[in-house]
């Protein structure tokens, strides 16, 4: 019984520190409202007003009006755009290009050995070209740029620190 009580007390005491953090939030308004959350430690790319540098890196510390990306201080009101990288289309596209190259080499060697010419004029290169086409079609889906304007796209910082209940006297 003591072990259960100690485990329960341990989880109860650590529950407050789990949620005591601030996160960067991008609210997208429109037909379907969407909220993209960036907690500390996530990889993020940010473009800043009047600066040609794109800050890429891990979101380190989030304060009330600013945040850090790999040690670079970025003010919340100076963010022009956030770039979100999609891993799945990029991985599929890169693998399709890899398979296209490997099958093109195999088809070329096979045609050179069996038919005497690397380019015999038949339809033996359709499979590598189809994989290269899949890779090329998925390239525009690698990244999505969200331009920050205060009408439809709003960037803000949410404080998720739990607050103690306030007792009001009548």
Q: Which pLDDT does position 71 carry in this prediction?
A: 87
For 13, 60, 163, the CA distances from 63, given in Å and listed in that order, are: 24, 10, 18
CB-CB contact of 101 with 130 (8 Å):
no
Q: Which pLDDT does position 126 carry in this prediction?
A: 92
* 82 backbone dihedrals φ, ψ, rounded to 5°: -120, 130
Residues 15-70: pLDDT tens digits? 544 555 788 888 888 778 888 888 888 889 999 988 888 899 998 877 888 899 98
State pTM to two decimals. 0.64
Write the secondary structure of 73-95 as one string of H (helix), E (strand) and C (coil): EEEHHHEEEEEEECHHHHHHHHH
Residues 113-151: pLDDT tens digits? 888 887 777 888 899 999 999 999 999 999 888 888 877
Q: Which pLDDT does position 64 carry in this prediction?
A: 81
The tokens describing 19, both together, are 């949620």
75 pLDDT higher than 70 = yes
Q: How confident is the model at residue 98 (pLDDT cuts 50, 70, 90)?
A: very high
2 pLDDT higher than 60 = yes
Q: Which pLDDT does position 169 carry in this prediction?
A: 59
Q: How confident is the model at residue 167 (pLDDT cuts 50, 70, 90)?
A: low
């Amino acid at each position: 019984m003591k072990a259960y009580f100690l485990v329960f007390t341990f989880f109860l005491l650590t529950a407050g520190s789990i949620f005591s953090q601030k996160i960067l939030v991008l609210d997208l308004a429109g037909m379907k409202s969407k909220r993209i959350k960036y907690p500390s430690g996530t990889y993020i790319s940010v473009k800043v007003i009047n600066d040609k540098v794109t800050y890429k890196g891990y979101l380190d510390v989030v304060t009330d009006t600013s945040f850090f990306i790999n040690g670079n201080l970025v003010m919340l009101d100076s963010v022009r755009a956030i770039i979100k990288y999609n891993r799945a289309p990029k991985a599929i596209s890169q693998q399709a290009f890899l398979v296209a190259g490997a099958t093109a080499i195999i088809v070329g060697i096979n045609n050179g050995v069996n038919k005497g010419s690397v380019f015999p004029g038949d339809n033996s290169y359709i499979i590598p070209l189809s994989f290269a086409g899949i890779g090329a079609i998925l390239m525009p889906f690698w990244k999505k740029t969200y331009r920050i304007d205060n009408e439809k796209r709003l960037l803000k910082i949410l404080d998720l620190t739990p607050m103690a209940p306030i007792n009001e006297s009548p």
